[in-house]
Structure formats: C-alpha cells, structure tokens
Amino acid sequence: MALYKRLGKLTGWTVPEGGAETRGTALLRPSGGMSTANNIVYRTERIARYFESNRSSWLQFYASERWIFERIASKSGSIGRVLDVGCAAGGLGLALQERFSIDEYVGVEINEQAVAAARARRDRLRPRAEFHCQDIVKMATVPRAPFDLVTNLSCSDWNVETAAITDACWRNVIPGGNLVISLRLTNGGSVNDMSRSYQHICFDEGLRDDDEKANYVVFNVRDALRLFENLRPQPSQVLGYGYWGPPSKSAVTPYDQLVFSVFALTKSTRDDQVPTSELHLPLSLWTA
C-alpha cells in the first residue's frame, strides 16, 4: 500500500485516504482532468508470456466481446482498419481475422516484452500490421489514424489514467467508426485507487507480495456512462453487453461480484446528434 501512496505523491494522482468508495467521476480522471501521462509502465515478462498463448483465437475471447464485435461488423463481415490499444501480444488481431475481414491491424502497447512478442507473430497476421511500444496517452495520434475500429479490452481499467486512455482511443476513431471498450461495473461506488483495488500480474503462479501489480478499476454503472458522455465529440450511440461474474482470483478488490461489460461507442458524423443507448446489462446494476 505504501508503494501506491508514494506513486500518488510522485505522479499527482489522487490516492484517497481511508478507502471510502467514491461516487462521481472525479477519481476516474487524473487531477485537473488533464492528460498527465502518469500511467504505470508495466515491466514484467509475464504479460508477454501469458498473452502469446492465451486470447489469441476467436473462442478464447469472452462471449461479451464476441457479441459486440458481431454486432458492429458490416453485413459482409468486414471490420476495416483496426487499432488495438493495450494489444499485449497482438492476439486480438489473430482472433478477429478468423471471424472477419480486416484491412489493417495496428497495436499500441506500453509493455516492451509484449510488443516484442506481438512483432514476433506479425507473419501470422494476414492484414498489414505494425506495433508501437508507447503509452497511448503520450501519442497525439497513432500513425495511420484514424481507424474504423479502435479496441480497448481491459486496458483503460488496468492502468491509472482511465479517462485519459479512453480519450486517447477516441481521438483515433474515424467519424462513423467505433471504439470497443471493456469495463468492470458495479451498482456500488466506483474505485480507482490502487491501495484498495489491484491485480497481481500473475497468471498461473501463486500470488506473491513482490508481483508487479496493475490497477483494477471498477466503475459504478452511471460513472461508466458519464465517461462515455464526456467524450468529445459525444458518441452518437452506446451499445453495451455484460453479465455478473466473480473478479479474477489474482485481483484484490472490494467487490465479490462485478458486471463484466463491453461497449461499442459510435463516433458521430454530425455535431447535433443526441447520444442514444442500447444496453443489454442486468437490471440489478441499477435496482440492487
């Protein structure tokens, strides 16, 4: 815990005392709402090792993720040019090409070894592919932007600058295109505080105190929808799908059940479009 308090001091990130769950979006944005690029640069080899043998084929992705991709693909099964933010070893590109036609696949990833693993598998990708080792928040725009589809699976909510990562993804979406983003939801308070909610970066081995840790952000459902509403330009449509389940065994978090959700946010082609929503989420997220 002391480590994360020190991290807060070093970065200006708000690490609240006490641990009361927080409502509202304040904690989901870095201080001042600015893009301060204080994300954790993950150093462990374990990300590369895990993702080069997992989440690399269509059926290894969650039902919620597959549901959303099926919904946004064109009738002919095309999803166009894809930017995958937090791409790890590039497994989503391999998975999507099994199911859809892709014109291009570009990955951005903060962990060096994962980028090396993605590049090592580039010849398995049919479309043109390239990978950048960078914090997405530090990239004004990604080379070859804008993209028809920007994906952010377990990325915004696995680092500290959740809102800035989401904004950065959004600015790389072409008007009329989509951002697909996964978030963990609750009917309780949002938590973006690594002293209370974090994940050991440990996939098979037993958990140890000295494991590198990732942030494990949980959103109150209304805060998640506000995060989307605060994007500029606002999305013209928010499509969501999710279901209750237990948190990962490697996570330490105040909740024992969360809604694992995936959203597709469509970027408007006009200024005057009022955002609409189609949410296939459990009613108990609002009523419980």
Ligand X SMILES: C[S@@+](CC[C@H](N)C(=O)[O-])C[C@H]1O[C@@H](n2cnc3c(N)ncnc32)[C@H](O)[C@@H]1O
Q: Which residues bind ligand X (CB under 6 A)?
A: 39, 42, 47, 51, 55, 85-88, 91, 108-111, 114, 135-137, 153-155, 158-159, 165
CB nearer ligand X, residue 55 or residue 196? 55
Token digits for 46? Answer: 């374990």
Minimum gap (Å) between residue 279 Cβ and ligand X: 21
Instruction: Output the residue with the shortest Cβ distance to ligand X.
Output: 86
Minimum gap (Å) between residue 252 Cβ and ligand X: 16
CB nearer ligand X, residue 136 or residue 265? 136
CB nearer ligand X, residue 158 or residue 260? 158
Contacts of 252 (CB under 8 A, 6+ apart): 197, 198, 199, 200, 216
Minimum gap (Å) between residue 273 Cβ and ligand X: 29
Amino acid at 11: T
How many other CB atoms are found less than 10 A from the CB of residue 286? 11
Three-state secondary-structure class, residue 203: coil
Token digits for 24? Answer: 């509202």
Minimum gap (Å) between residue 137 Cβ and ligand X: 6
CB nearer ligand X, residue 12 or residue 175? 12
Q: At what angle do helices 221-229 and 162-170 cross, to 10 degrees?
A: 40
CB nearer ligand X, residue 96 or residue 153? 153
What are the backbone angles phi and psi of residue 147, rounded to the nearest 5°?
Answer: -115, 150
Minimum gap (Å) between residue 139 Cβ and ligand X: 9
How many other CB atoms are found less than 10 A from the CB of residue 162? 25
CB nearer ligand X, residue 143 or residue 175? 143
CB nearer ligand X, residue 62 or residue 228? 62
CA–CA gap between residue 51 and residue 109 (Å, rounded)? 12
Of the candidates 243, 182, 180, the one whose C-alpha atom is nearest the C-alpha of residue 218 is 182
Minimum gap (Å) between residue 287 Cβ and ligand X: 30
CB nearer ligand X, residue 110 or residue 225? 110
Contacts of 196 (CB under 8 A, 6+ apart): 19, 253, 254
Minimum gap (Å) between residue 133 Cβ and ligand X: 9
Minimum gap (Å) between residue 10 Cβ and ligand X: 17
CA–CA gap between residue 76 and residue 92 (Å, rounded)? 20
What are the backbone angles phi and psi of residue 146, rounded to the nearest 5°?
Answer: -90, 165
Question: Please, what's the largest Cα pairwise distance for the chain?
Answer: 53
How many other CB atoms are found less than 10 A from the CB of residue 24? 12
